[in-house]
Structure formats: structure tokens, C-alpha cells
Amino acid sequence: MNTQKKIQHSLNDLIEIARDGHGFYTEAAGKVKDAELAALFTRIAGVKQDIVARLSATVAATGGTPAEHGTLVGSMQQFYGKVRAALGDTTYGYVSELEESEDRLLKAFNETISDEDTPAAARAEAQALLPSVRECHNVMRDRKQVLKHAS
């Protein structure tokens, strides 16, 4: 696989996972009753949208086609979050599933950065976005812990 294709493949994986997160956060923001939590979800959805836009621009700059959809795993997580919310555990259900989504995205970023086969341009873009990914991950991890101990 040539470098151009490898960059596109590496970054498109990240685009798909970030797109999953954007969709899930957007939906959750409209479902939770807590205004502060809805605002947090909306803010993080915006971060995911920025990640998708930046990575898509990098893929396009290499002559590739940015991923336009999310992943099957992301769709399943979103479905599971909806089921939990429907069963009455709205806040914790969404926070828990969103935190797992953050784990998935952070893991994918770390793998892209540490993979010796990842081209320098893809690694550099992933490293530039990593602080935002970590921050969202930590916010949701902490929020989940607070909710877990409150119940």
C-alpha cells in the first residue's frame, strides 16, 4: 500500500469513529433532561465535528475520499444507549456509552500514532488532535465516575 493510500486508510478509520461520536453526542444532547449535560454533549459533538473536518481535509489533500459514514460498532453503541435510555436510565446510560465511545476513539488515535507503518503526515495530524481527544475522554470518564458514585 503506498503512503498516500495508507494516510487515507489510517485517517478514514479515525474519521469514522469520530463521526460515530458526533452523531451519538448530538442525539444524547437532545434526549437528556439535564441542561448542563445537554450543553456538555453539544460542546463535545462540536469537537468531534472539528476532528472529522480536519481529518477529512487531510485525506482530501492527499487526493483521497474522506469517509462519509460511521462504523457498525458505533451504530450498535448508539442503539444500546437508546435502549438504556428508554429503560429509564437516561443520564447514566448515555454517559456510560459515550465514555465507551471516547475509549474507542482514544485507543484508535493512540494506535495510529504508535503504528510504525503510519505515514508521518497522518501521525502528525493525529498527534495535533490528540489533546482534544484526551480532554473529551477525560471529561466523560470523570462524569461517569461522578454519576456512578451518586447512585
The SS3 assignment for 129 reads helix
Cα dihedral value 110, 112, 114, 115, nearest 10: 150
pLDDT at 69: 76
Name, of 61-65, 74-78, 103-107, the range with top average pLDDT.
103-107
Contact residues for 114 (Cβ-Cβ < 8 A; gap 6+): none
Percentage of the chain lying above the pLDDT 70 cut: 85
Q: Which residue has the cell 462504523?
A: 71
Residue 100's nearest CA partner among 68, 136, 130 is 136
State the residue range of the domain holding 140: 3-150
Asked if pLDDT for residue 85 goes beyond 60, the answer is no
Kindly report the CATH number assigned to the domain that includes residue 70: 1.20.1260.10
Mean pLDDT, rounded, of the chain: 86
Dump pLDDT digits (tens) for 60-75: 988 888 888 766 555 5
pTM for the full model? 0.86
Can you read off the three cell numbers belonging to residue 117?
507503518
Asked if pLDDT for residue 106 goes beyond 60, the answer is yes
Residue 78: pLDDT band (50, 70, 90) is: low
How many domains are there within the chain? 1
